[in-house]
Structure formats: structure tokens, C-alpha cells
Structure 1
Amino acid sequence: MKSESDTRSLIKDVYNHEYTVNDLVNKGLIHDNDNWKELRKERINEIKNIYKKDELALFLGAGISKDAGIGDWNDLMSDLLILMIMKELEQKNIKITSQEADFIIKQIKEVNNKSPLLQSAFIKATLGDSFEESLANLLYKNISGDNGNSKLLDSISKLCLKRRAGVGVKAIVTYNFDDLLEDNFDKYNIQYHSLYSELDYTTSDKLGIYHVHGFLPRHPSQYEKLYESLLVFSEDRYHSLYNDPYSWTNITQLNFLRENTTLMIGLSLTDPNLRRILSIANRKNKMKKHYAIMRRKNFKYDSNDININNDILKKVNIINNDLHEKSFEQLGINIIWVEDYNDISNIIEDIIAK
């Protein structure tokens, strides 16, 4: 049974939650739609100062590679599923026309977004020893020649150049399998070390790139003991990661979140394991010392659908975004909103500027 103090604590939490929601609704009804832009300027200036003090670490997600030609998780899953099905049909000598193949591919891509982790375990088991090679081939299928670059990757590379009077970015934690970041660093002659297992370490003269979900570079022979990389792709791997608080990948993330200020780019922040680690890192100090650049959510409204008061729609949109921001604040994250993903490069360039 719950004690009286537990009950009082629960009532207090519920009351505070309701108060927060009411407060946000009240503010949303009186706020101007552009207030978030002023707050963005303040937060960019804060990051500038942190960057100058050499206290900034980057947390990077799939969004940084998309414009350069790397598909998102659902695209990769669909491609793998198509590959698996086509191989099975071929082994059974089942002939299909190119028109039938195109139709099947289109249907798979439309419906393959329900249980990606569950599907990935099944695909991995079916493809067997060819799984990682197949995954790497599909990962880089749109990358050839001088491809693999983008304005965003270029800006991130500039941000990671050593400053004359300091370091700049202390480390990078990436959740991506690809090596596009390394490739762009080579173009800027940035000294780095890719890390992907608990036996790895870097030195002060090299920028550490921590691949905490695994690493599939285009030229694996250039990297030592790559087989020790934990490829967090299937459901079983994800669960083992979630249930092992002392794993290299979890400890790495936690250490940087506790000891540094982080700027998160290209992350949706919906990963339960990352949110759990953020919660642990923020448990004692309750400081909002991390920053995440995210696209601002806006309601899509077609005037042909229904009759609706546009002013009301704007107010509800403000409240909705404020609620999202409040939920991230509970994890110690300040949101820097952008209206378009192309704005992210401009923000990074602003941080670099003197």
C-alpha cells in the first residue's frame, strides 16, 4: 500500500502537471506567434559562448545524412525487406515481371512503417551472413563519386575545425552507421578517430567520433576490429542495449551528457533509450544545459476541409509547440526551433561566427 507521504507526493505531481498545462495554455493564448524566434537568438548566443569555452559536444542523428543521399530508417527497412523477398522468390524459381516488381516495391514502401525493429530481426535472421554486407550496400546505394556531401555536413565540418585559441567541439556522438561525416572531415583535414567499441580510445590531438549504434564504413579494411562494433539494428540488439546500463554505448552517452553541454542535430529524440539516459543525466542537477535543433510543428490546414477560425488555429499551434518544448525541458533540453531544415546550416554558421 502507498503511504500517506507517497499519496501526498502523487497528488502534488498531478497538481503540478495540471498547473503546467494550464499555464502553457494561458501563455499560448496571449503569446505572439513569433516569440520563439527571439528565444532562438538567445539560445544560439548561449551556445556560442559554450563553444568558445571548449565545452560543446555534438549528438548527431539520421537527419544530418539525409540530404547527402542516405535514406532514413523506414527507407532502409523497406529496401532490406524487398531484397529479402526478391531473394526468396529467386531461390524458389518464381519469375516476376519488372512491372510486378515495381508494384511490389511500391506497396512494401507504403506499408512498411509499423514495426521496424520487429521486422529488422526477421530480415536479419533470413539474410544470415550476408546481412551486414546487404545493409551496407543499401545504405550507400545513392552515394557514388563525389556524392555524400551536403550543406549541413559542410557546416558541421566547419564547426569541428580546431580554433586557434581552443578546441571548439570536444567530441561527437553519432547514432548513424554511415561514414559520411568522416569523409567530409577528410576534405577539411580534420584529425579524428572513429570509435565503435569499448576497447577504443582517442587522444587529445584527434576528435573522437563515437558510433554508439554501430559503424558500417564503405572501406572496412581501413578500420581495426570493426567486427566488435555492436550494430543496433534488430529488436534483440536494442533490448540488450536498453537492459545493460553499463554497456560502452550507454556509458559513453551518459558521460558526455553529464560532463558537457551538447548540441543535438538531426535527432527526433523519440528513442526510448536515449530519453532514459537523458533522464538519468538530468536527475540530480535539473539543469537545462543541452540544446536540440528541431523543426517547428505547424498544423496543415486546407480551407476546403472545414470552416475554422484561423486565429484559434494559430493559438492552438503555439500551445502544441510549447507543450513539446516543456516535455523536452524535463530532460534538460532547450529546443532551438527552425521552420525549415535548411535553416540548421545557418544556425551552425552563426555559432562559428565571431
Structure 2
Amino acid sequence: MIDTKSLKELDNRSASAFIQLLKEISKKKTTLYLGAGVSASSGIPTWNQLIEQICSTFFYHWEFSEDNGNDKIPKNLSIAFWENFFWSNESKNLSKILAKENPINIAEQIKSRIRPIDWIYLVRKLLYYQHDLKPSTLISEITELFSSEYINTVLTSNYDDLLEKQLKAKGIKCKSIVFKPFKKDDGKVVIHPHGILPIEGGEKTKIIFTESEYIEEFSKPYSWTNLIQLNEFNQSTCLFIGTSFTDINLVKLLRISRGQTKNMHYAFIFNDPNKDDKIKELFYNYLYDLGIKVILIPMENSSDFSKLPKYIKLINEFLRDKNHELRKYAT
């Protein structure tokens, strides 16, 4: 029984997993795996939100082409206006319906109908220029954790470089690794398996977004994207933050890794009070079979994500303070 005020909001299983995580970070190489929820905390749209905005922009431009005498689905459509005040009610309604379907399939359908030169332009504009982006408490605490001596590697499924910008602001050197090998003595690295779109410009890479791009990249057993993630899953303890585990390729790699190593990983998962307990328990056991121990973060309601930074902060406090109250459990 773990009796401490620091973990009083966690259930016994989550508290135990949290203590085990502290032991792993203290003694063994740990990799952070950041999902869309991390970037969303700073105002960047989630996958579904981004797809809905892409759809709205596309349907508006299609409507505009119809006004000019073309009522067929456009080909090589030119994208000029990405701002949301241009979107009609019809385009927004259609987008809400379409965004509920498979996001990478929808991205494929739309990308095939617009000019290739406009695709990255559109994604970049909708990611960064329609939102009030500012460092979140969550990213600040993750930056603090990554700044420690215990962690040198971050894997992120996000296209943005928010973390790199935060590290640079603190005077901490790190490298963004995208579709290229790196050495472990390169210091701190942020690996982008899906590509990167720097907020303020910079290195241009492809991004893995659409169905064909996912199939092309992940169907190759020895692709850089597969190997770089599998290597971290096999050789490190990973802490998943802001990840929903709906990415089938991530799940596939975790399952492969589970067959190759007995490494256990950890994930912060929000304990949605509106979901049925049996459904949640089924999902938690699914993750355990993939080699992931769940740490359930309490929620006041289904849109309350405020308590996650508290537990990242607790890890930071533990690593700094040799007399921390959790030391008696995590030794």
C-alpha cells in the first residue's frame, strides 16, 4: 500500500505504476513518446480538428469553383484562402461529417484533388496560423524533464517543433532528427518519425499524413520510421504522454517489440468519468498486452486535462530532490 499525499488522487494500480516509473527513470535509459495531446495543450489542433479544418477549406474552394461554372469535383485545386471566416456553413457541416471517418483516408482523398504545391502550405497554415499558440504548462514540465540528465531522447508523432523551441529558449542544445540516422553521443535528440514542419521555417522534410504515405512508409520492414521507433521500444523504457494509441502503425510496432523484448513501458491515460468502467478496463488490459502499464490521471469531466502537468512536475521534483517523500518507495 502506497500511502503518500503526492499520489492520493491515483488508484492503487496507477500509484504503483508511477512508483515503478520513477525507479526506471532513475536507473535506466528512458525515452519520452509525445502524442498529439501534448501539442494540443499549446493550441495546435488535434488530428481530427486538423482534418475538419482541411475539409472546410477544401469544400469552400470547391464551392468557389462551382460559382465559376465548374460543378465537378476539382482537380489540381488552387488553395488561396485558409482562414476560417471564409468557410460557409455548408462546408463546415460537410467537414464535421467527414472528419468522423478515417483521418488518413480523408487526407488522402483531399490531397489528391489539390495542387501538390498547396498541400504543405495548407497543412502549415492550419496548424500554426489560425490558433493562439503559447507554451503550455504541460510542455514546460516536459521540457524540464527532458532537460534532466536522465533523458536524452524524445519521440514525437507531431509535426511541430514546440519542444525544440522551448529547449532553445532555456539554452539547452538538442537536435531534431528526421529521416536520417543519428549517434547516441549526439546528445539530446527529438525524433520526428512522421516528419517535421517547423513553426518558423527551417529544414524541409516530407510529412507522413495521408493513407498512401502511411502505407508506403510502414509497409517497408526496414524503413527508417519503423526501425527508429522499434529500436527505442526494444532498448528503452518509454513514457507515453498525450497518446491515444489509435495509430495502427504504433500499435503494430509495440506488438512486434513485445515479441522481441520484455521491456515494460508506461502511459499517462486520462480516466474519463463518462466512460463505462468495463470498457475502460478492457482498454487498459489491451495496453498491458502491448507492454504498457497505465497511470490513470483523474478528470473532473471529459474535457478536464489540467492534472497531467502535475504528475510530470512530480517526476521533476523527485529527480531533483534526493530526500523526496517518494524516495522510500522508489528505491
Equivalent-residue separation in structure 2 for 1:76 and 1:36 (angstroms)? 33
2:105 is the alignment partner of 1:134: no
Residue segments in structure 2 that go unaligned for 5+ positions in a row: 1-7, 70-83, 300-304, 322-331
Aligned-pair identity (%) = 25
Deviations 1:156-213 (A, max 9, x none): 0010113xxxx21130110001111112222222211001113x42563531111001
**Alpha-carbon offset, residue 35 of structure 1:** 10
Contact 1:282 1:331 in 2 (8 A): yes
Equivalent-residue separation in structure 2 for 1:92 and 1:107 (angstroms)? 18
Where 2:175 maps in the other structure, the secondary structure is: strand
The more displaced of 175-184 and 111-120 is: 111-120
Alignment of 1:237-276 (within 5 A): 237-276=213-252
Equivalent-residue separation in structure 1 for 2:174 and 2:85 (angstroms)? 47
Where 1:135 maps in the other structure, the secondary structure is: helix
Contact 2:218 2:225 in 1 (8 A): no
Where 2:172 maps in the other structure, the secondary structure is: coil
Relative to structure 1, the CA distance from residue 107 to residue 38 in structure 2 (aligned partners, 3 Å threshold; closer, same or farther) is: same
2:185 is the alignment partner of 1:171: no
Alignment of 1:117-128 (within 5 A): 117-127=104-114, 128=116
TM-score normalised per structure 1: 0.75
Equivalent-residue separation in structure 2 for 1:100 and 1:276 (angstroms)? 40
Contact 1:48 1:352 in 2 (8 A): no
Deviations 1:1-33 (A, max 9, x none): xxxxxxxxxxxxxxxxxxxxxxxxxxxxxxxxx
CA root-mean-square deviation: 2.4
Where 1:126 maps in the other structure, the secondary structure is: coil
- Which of the residues 308, 316, 337 maps onto 2:296? 337
Where 2:33 maps in the other structure, the secondary structure is: strand
- Which of the residues 212, 216, 220 maps onto 2:193? 212
Equivalent residue pairs, number = 290
**Alpha-carbon offset, residue 245 of structure 1:** 1.3
2:11 is the alignment partner of 1:45: no
Equivalent-residue separation in structure 2 for 1:155 and 1:75 (angstroms)? 25
Alignment of 1:17-56 (within 5 A): 37-56=11-30
- Matching residue's letter, 2:268: I
Equivalent-residue separation in structure 2 for 1:132 and 1:64 (angstroms)? 22
Alignment of 1:52-131 (within 5 A): 52-94=26-68, 101-112=87-98, 113-127=100-114, 128-131=116-119
TM-score normalised per structure 2: 0.80
Where 1:58 maps in the other structure, the secondary structure is: strand
Deviations 1:308-330 (A, max 9, x none): xxxxxxxxx44333222211111
Larger radius of gyration: 1
- Which of the residues 206, 209, 212 maps onto 1:233? 209
- Matching residue's letter, 1:327: Y
**Alpha-carbon offset, residue 154 of structure 1:** 0.6
Contact 2:41 2:136 in 1 (8 A): yes
Where 2:11 maps in the other structure, the secondary structure is: helix
Contact 2:54 2:126 in 1 (8 A): yes
2:5 is matched with: none
Equivalent-residue separation in structure 2 for 1:294 and 1:234 (angstroms)? 26
- Matching residue's letter, 1:209: V
Contact 2:57 2:87 in 1 (8 A): no
Contact 1:50 1:261 in 2 (8 A): yes
